[in-house]
Amino acid sequence: MLTDPWTSSLLLASAAFAAGILNAVAGGGSFLTLPALVFTGVPPIMANATSALAVSPGYLGSTLGFRAELRQLPLLRLKREMAIAAFGGLLGALLLLVTPARVFSGIVPWLLLFATLLFALGPVIARRASGTGAGARALDRWREPGLLLTAIYGGYFNGGLGILLMALYAATGESHINTANALKNLNSLILSWLSVAAFVVAGAIAWREGLLMMVAATLGGFLGARWSKRLPVQWIRIGIISTGLVMSALFFVR
C-alpha cells in the first residue's frame, strides 16, 4: 500500500488517464482504476464506487456520439430500457453497499478474472450471439429481463459491462451494430450515473481521489478518441487482457 500522497496521486492520475484512453479505444479501464485505488489504501468497496465515478464521464461522450442512431428508435422502447437500466444499476449499487467488506474483498479477484475473460472472449461471444431470424426473435422476449440482470451486474461491478450488453442485444435480434452500440452506451450511462448517485448518497466515494481521477480519465478519453483510429486495436486488446490477468493475480495473492 502506498502512503506517500504525491506518489499515490501520480499513480491514480496515471491509471485514470490510461483508463480513459482504453475506454475510448476498446474498453477495460476498470482494470486500472480499481486496483490503483486499492493499492493506494482505499477500502475495496469504496474503491469500486470511486472507480465507477472516475470513468462515468466517458459514457456521456460515447452516448452523444450515437445521437443519430438513438433518434431512429421508438421513444417508448428507449424509455422502457432506460428505466430498466436505471433500476438495475441502482439495485446493483445497493447490493454492493450491503455486501460485507470482507466478502467483497474475497470476490474482487474473481470479478476481475471474470471481466478479463469476458473481455478476451468478447469477439467470440458477439459472433455466437449474433443470430438472426426465428432464433433471435424467440430470444427477444428475454431482452428486458437480460437487460435488468446485466444492469444489476453493472451497478455492482462495472468490468465487462459493455461486452455483456453488446452480446445481449446481438442475441435478441439487434442486427445493426451501430444501433446496438448506441443502446449499450445509453444504458451504460444511465445505470452508471444512478449507481454513482447511490454511492454518493451512501458516502461511499473517496472524493479527493475520485475528482482527480475524473479529470484525468476525461482527458484520457478525449485523447483516446483522437488516437483510436491510429492505434492497432489488437495490440490494445492484448494489453488490456494482460493487465487484467496481472491485476487478478495480484489480488489473489493479497
Q: DSSP letters along 18-31, please? A: HHHHHHHHT--THH
Burial of 66 (0-12, 13-18, 19+ CB in 10 A): middle
DSSP code for 4: -
Higher pLDDT, 217 or 247: 217
What are the grid coordinates assigned to 250, written together?
Answer: 495480484
Cα dihedral sign, 188-190-196-198: negative
The 10s digit of each residue's pLDDT in 112-167 is: 888 888 778 767 766 665 555 554 455 667 888 999 999 999 999 877 787 788 88
Mean pLDDT lowest among 82-86, 168-172, 221-225: 221-225
Percent pLDDT > 90 in the chain is 34
Burial of 68 (0-12, 13-18, 19+ CB in 10 A): exposed
The 10s digit of each residue's pLDDT in 61-116 is: 778 878 888 899 999 989 999 999 999 999 999 999 999 988 988 888 898 888 88
Q: Total structural domains in the chain?
A: 1
Asked whether the beta carbons of 153 and 191 are under 8 A apart, the reply is no
The 10s digit of each residue's pLDDT in 33-51 is: 988 999 899 999 999 999 9
Question: Which structural domain range is residue 144 located in?
Answer: 5-253
The model's pTM = 0.81
Asked whether the beta carbons of 37 and 197 are under 8 A apart, the reply is no
What is the average pLDDT across 237-241?
Answer: 77
